[in-house]
Structure formats: structure tokens, C-alpha cells
Structure 1
Amino acid sequence: MPSKRLSVVVTRRLPEVVETRMKELFDVELREDDTPMSKREIVEAMQRADVLVPTITDTIDGGMLGQAGERLKLIASYGAGVDHIDVQTARQRGILVSNTPDVLTDDTADMAIALIIGLKRRLVEGVRMVQDGGWDGWAPTGMLGHRVAGKRLGILGMGRIGQAVAKRARAFGMQIHYHNRRRLHRDIEESLEATYWESLDQMISRVDILSVNCPHTPATFHLVNARRLKLMKPTSVIVNTSRGEVIDEAALTRALRAGEIAGAALDVYEKGQMVNPRLADLPNVILLPHMGSATEEGRIEMGEKVIINIKTFEDGHRPPDQVVPSML
């Protein structure tokens, strides 16, 4: 056993197998309960650790990094997104940042498809009806939904997850349309039978389902705003398994309540776990507690990536999943 091991602080409870492996490799400080750390607790953790392992619920801004001191050398984030970390300031202070990409693609894509089908077939409404004792038996016109086969699916953000959603949607007979910062290679377009739209406005006005699969950046904040929601067909629905800030949630609530669109399914919200109560009251809405990537397999793989990033750094090499400002 080495005489001096890296000091690692973990901000939230992780799967037991991940915590155990960290304990074997590092001088690790684990969280006793699963409550988020306060800003002060995170700053104090950064002051006493070589490595901080935060999650997407831990905001680490420039002011906090300015108080970190000289010991902290790596922020090995447990999660794919890094918009909760001021990566630029971290870099200026000589602190590396890493994340855990590529392990949640299938889990998130599965959830997007589940939400699409759930909306179009009114699954949650049906569950509530039975559980609340309001079901009087089968009827020819009872709880009519819509087929997904033949519907136009518009994918906003055609990265790994967007493409995984497209592959699944094709199996259900949906027609794939997409808007992306850059057009995909022709071979990928042909394999997905996907139609590219340079204009998001033009795509949104034509699709039956809009799936949000792009990251949150300054350029995508409120990309789906009140003006664009008015372009959607009144029979269309919107699904978001990406980042809540991409959609103007207040505008979405107004559009749903006015019947300007037919439904929405959200796994993420603009203000974290704070859900607009006017949105939650609507029957044509599915709201989930950010569980799109919540599989045991996925969470363990995330932890394994964190460990690899820390161990590689400890060995004097660049973490394989290092994030730099130019990537954002």
C-alpha cells in the first residue's frame, strides 16, 4: 500500500460497490447521508482534498473555486453534464475537471421513448384513473390515445443520445427529423433515415413529437421559448430528458393550459427540483424525478469512470474524460 494516497471527498452517496472500490484505492471521505452539501461544506471539502467528486446537483462557481486553496487539483464529477462547474475558472486555477460521458446514452434514450409512448397512449392518465377508482370498465371510445407509428419525431440535439433515440424511434415506425448545431455525416443520416433541418423553427412547426436532447449552454438556454412553442401543432407533444433550462418552463405551462400543444413529459426542470405547481396540476403532463439515467448498471459505470479518471490523474497522466472550456 502506498504511503501517501490521494485525499478524495465525495459529496453524495454513490453505489456501494463504487464507494468500496474508492476506499480501497484512495484516502476517501464518503458522505454519511444522501443530502446535498451546502456551498460552505463544498468549499471546505475543496480546501482539504486533492480531489473532489461532486454530482450535477452541486453548483461550483468561480467564487467557490476562489476559496478552494492550493491543494485541490482535480474535480472528478460524477455525471456527464458539467454546466454546474465553472470550468474556465477551474482551468485558470490549475484545477482539472473530468466527467463521465458515454455511459448513460442507452438509459436516457430508453426513457425518452418511454415518455413518448406514455404521452401518446395516455399511460399515466390511465394509471391515475384506476388507482383513484374512476375506471368504470372498457368502452370503445374510452382513453383513446394515438399511435406513434408514422408520426414525425423532431430531435433537438443529434449527439449520442439523440441518435440513440432516433434508432429506437425508427423501430417503432416513427419518421426522424432533427436539428443540430452541425449536420450529421450522410452515412449516419441514411442509416437513421433522418431529415435534417437547419431551421429549428421550420422543424418544430412540422413535427408531431419534439424530443429535447441537447446540452444546456448559453446558446441553448430557453431555445424552446414562447415564440417557438406557438409554432408547434396543437396535436404535438414535447419530451425533455436533457436539461430543464433548454425549455422556458413558464411558457410551456401557458401553452399547455391554453391547449396550444397536446402534452409534455419532463424528466428535468428549469429550476432543479422546483416544479411549477400549475404545470404539475395538468392531466396531460408526465413529470419524473430526473430518473432518465437511473439504472443500477449506469450508476456503477459512472462510478467506474470517476475512479479511472482519478487513478489516471494519480499516475501522472491526463484523465481520459478531462473537460476543457473549448469543449463546451
Structure 2
Amino acid sequence: MASKPSLLVTRRMPDAVTARASRDYDAELNPDDRIMPQDEWLAKAEGKDGLMICSSEKVTAEAVARLPGSVKIISTFSVGHEHIDIEAVKASGRTVTNTPDVLNEAVADIAMLCLLGAARRAHEGQTLVRQGEWNGWYSTMLLGKDLTGARLGILGMGGIGQAIARRARGFGLAVHYHNRTRLAPELEGDAIYHDSAEGLAAVADFLSVSCPSTDETRGMVDADFIAALPPGAVLVNTARGDIVDDDAVIEALQSGRLRAAGLDVFKGEPALDVRYRSLPNVFLLPHLGSATDNTRDAMGFCCLDNLDAFFAGKACPTAL
């Protein structure tokens, strides 16, 4: 019987994913989930046929140049792939894959949680109750922002953006969006397309950042973008932290130019800008977008489906 392909799994995976990887591969695991320095995971890659990584592993051009020749495929446990120099990997003759689509619904749920949490001042309410400072009901206590009849601008209308739009309609929000390309009519539905990010900003009472982090989108939501939003807009980000300019967002939250924000992702996370922690009008989550049992299993299975296909000599389902 032919030997199993050897695989380095750089982070701890859900139990079902670990069981499948251990069954089908000669897998070196990381049960302690310790984030390995680049030199360490590169050393562990020696003799491995494939790598199953996460966004914590930065596959730079320099790292690609140091990869052992045995490594033929890199499968990332994420839909985002800004941590990988895709062109460098491809130029080296290797295959690289990600996990699109399987996390759309879970991330969209968190986007709506962030939107509602920010709009209805959930952090402030939780603080009152948990710290024993709630002294009873009164008519002007923690007044929030209505969703019904408001306009939601979705910056990036891929699978996640479309899932957010489906949920938003149920809350009475009118959906507007900007995307690199306009959606087909059957996908667009009643959503209103804007051919520029600036045009979208002008009508976004709520703004959901749902685009990938690329050279074009990093820092897009800056002071000028925020100034173009309607006064008192609410910002939601469940995409990547580096798409927003922290200085501009924090200044707008402090001044009231932005009424509130709901943030699940941060530049440099987990070392987020500490000023966010002291702002009462920010609803904060620790990058929970895809954090459900079923979704994380599906992400791992997607990685393994790609690896299975590659080592069987077939096309990878989600090759980049």
C-alpha cells in the first residue's frame, strides 16, 4: 500500500477535522495550538508534502523561497489570503487553496450582531447591568438608532455581502452596495448598485465592510470616506481590520461623526488599538465571524477536500 502523504497542520483544528487529517495523512499536528515562529514551521515543513495553515502563518515571498522542495501544496484554513504571497507561491510551482463560501452565513450572522449591538448600544447596556448600575427604566435611557427604513451600504458584495443583504432586508433596511463588478439581476434583487465607494458612502446610514483585504482596499475607510457618510452613521467591520483607518474611525467615534461602530476584526489583532476599549459607542468582538461548530468543521473539510484532490491528481475545488 502506498504511504500516506505527509502533512503539517500548523494550528489546532476542530476534533472532526483532526480525526480526518490523522486518518488520511501522515499528519504532524499542533495540539497545544502554539503559534510557531516562521523559522519553526518552516523547519517542521521539511519532508512534508503539504501544509495546512491559518492566517497566523505569514507565507511571504521570503518564506516561499525557504520552503522545502517536498512541499507541493499550501491549504489555508481561511477565506482571506492576504497572509500569503499568492504570486510567489504560484511562481514556485506550488498550489494554494482557501475556504470560500462555507463561512458566508456564519460571518453574516456576526455582521448583523455587530450592527445591532452598535445601533442599540448593547455594550453600554451590558455594562450597566453587569456593574450593578442599572437603576430602573426611564424614557431616554440608551436611545439607539432605528434599522427599519434606514439604508445599509455593503462594501463588497461577494458571498458574505449577499448573505448580509438577505438578513438586512428582514430588518427593514434598504440595501445599497458597491462591488468591483455589478451583480447579475437574480443576485442583486432589489439592492441598489453604486459604481464607486464614494457614491455608496453618501447613502450609507449603516456601512458594512465586507470586502477582502487587498492593495486597493487597505485603508479605504479613511477620514475622507467617513466624511462622505451621512452624519451619525454606524460602521460595521467583519472583513479585515486593515481596511479601515483606525485613527480616522476613532476620531469620528469620539467626535460623534460616527454614531457607533461594531467591530469583529482589527489591524494587528489581537493587539488592537487600545483606544477602542475605552469608547462606549463601540461594540467589540474577538474575530468570531466563522466561529460556529459547523462552520469551522466545514472550513477544515474544505482544506482537506483540496488536499485530497491534489494528491489524487485532480483539480483542487477552491484553488486560488
TM-score, normalised relative to structure 1? 0.95
1:281 aligns with 2:278: yes
Alignment of 1:217 with 2:221, yes or no, is no
C-alpha separation in 2, matches of 1:288 and 1:272: 11
Percent of residue pairs bearing the same amino acid type: 38
Question: Is 1:174 paired with 2:173?
Answer: yes
1:85-118 deviation line (CA, Å, top 9, x unaligned): 1111111111110111110000001111111111
Offset from partner CA, 1:23-78 (integer Å, 9 cap, x none): 11110001031121111112112323110110012111011111112110000111
Match of 1:299 among 291, 296, 301: 296
Structure 2: how far apart are the matches of 1:228 and 1:92?
A: 36
**CA–CA distance in 1 between the matches of 2:186 and 2:301?**
33
Any conservation in 2 of the 1:45–1:52 contact (CA below 8 Å)? no
The TM-score normalised by the length of structure 2 is 0.97
Matches of 1:53 and 1:250, distance apart in 2: 35
Gaps of 5+ in 2: none
State how many pairs are aligned.
320
Deviations along 1:217-247, one digit per CA (max 9) or x if unpaired, are 1011111111111222231110000111111
Residue 39 of structure 1: aligned partner: 38
Structure 2 counterpart of 1:239, one-letter code = V
Deviation at 1:304, TM superposition (A): 0.9
- Verify: 1:257 aligned to 2:254, yes or no: yes
Counterpart for residue 144 of structure 1: 143
Helix, strand or coil at the partner of 1:76: strand
Whether the 8 Å CA contact 1:43–1:65 is kept in 2: the answer is no
Unaligned segments of structure 1, at least 5 residues: 324-328
Instruction: State how far apart, in whole Å, the 2-side matches of 1:212 and 1:286 are.
Output: 15
Q: How does 1:59-138 map to 2 (within 5 A)?
A: 59-138=58-137
Equivalent residues of 1:216, 1:245 under 8 A apart: yes
Give, as a single letter, the amino acid of the residue that structure 1 aligns with 2:45: M
Distance (Å, rounded) in 1 between the aligned partners of 2:31 and 2:144: 46
Q: Secondary structure at the match of 2:175?
A: strand
Q: Counterparts of 1:233 and 1:243 in 2: how far apart (Å)?
A: 23
CA deviation after TM superposition for structure 1 residue 309, in Å = 0.9
Residue identity opposite 1:321 in structure 2:
T
User: How far apart, CA to CA, are the structure 2 residues paired with 1:202 and 1:103?
Assistant: 30
Q: Distance in 1 between matches of 2:144 and 2:182?
A: 34
- Cα distance in 1 for partners of 2:182, 2:307 equals 35
Q: Which 4+ runs in 1 deviate beyond 6 A?
A: none
Offset at residue 314 of structure 1 (A): 1.2
- Matches of 1:61 and 1:188 in 2, distance apart? 36
1:233 equivalent in structure 2: 230
Give the aligned residue type for 2:124.
Answer: E
User: Given that residues 81 and 215 in structure 1 are in contact (C-alpha distance below 8 angstroms), is that contact kept between their aligned partners in structure 2?
Assistant: yes
Counterpart position of 1:270? 267
Determine if contact 1:155/1:213 at 8 Å carries over to the other structure: yes
Contact residue 176 and residue 191 of structure 2 kept, 8 A: yes
Alpha-carbon distance in 2 for matches of 1:45, 1:88: 23
Q: Output the CA distance in 1 between the equivalents of 2:186 and 2:306.
A: 33
Displacement of 1:262 in angstroms is 0.5
Q: Distance in 2 between matches of 1:186 and 1:317?
A: 34
1:188, CA displacement in angstroms? 2.5
Aligned partners of 2:125, 2:316: CA distance in 1, in Å?
A: 48
SS in 2 for 1:42: helix
In 1, Cα distance between the equivalents of 2:80 and 2:166? 23
Instruction: Supply the distance in 2 between the matched residues of 1:225 and 1:142 (Cα, whole angstroms).
Output: 32
2:114–2:264 CA contact under 8 A, matched in 1 = no
Q: Aligned partners of 1:259 and 1:243: how far apart in 2?
A: 23
1:170-223 deviations in whole A, cap 9, x for unaligned? Answer: 01110011111111122322x2x1111112212212221000000011011111
1:90 alignment partner AA? V
Could you tell me how far 1:142 is from its partner in structure 2?
A: 1.2
CA RMSD of aligned residues (A): 1.1
| Letter matched to residue 156 of structure 1 | L
Q: Secondary structure at the match of 1:85?
A: coil
- Whichever residue aligns with residue 69 of structure 1, its letter is P
String of CA shifts for 1:133-184, please: whole Å, max 9, x gaps.
1100111211211221111000000111111101110011100111111111
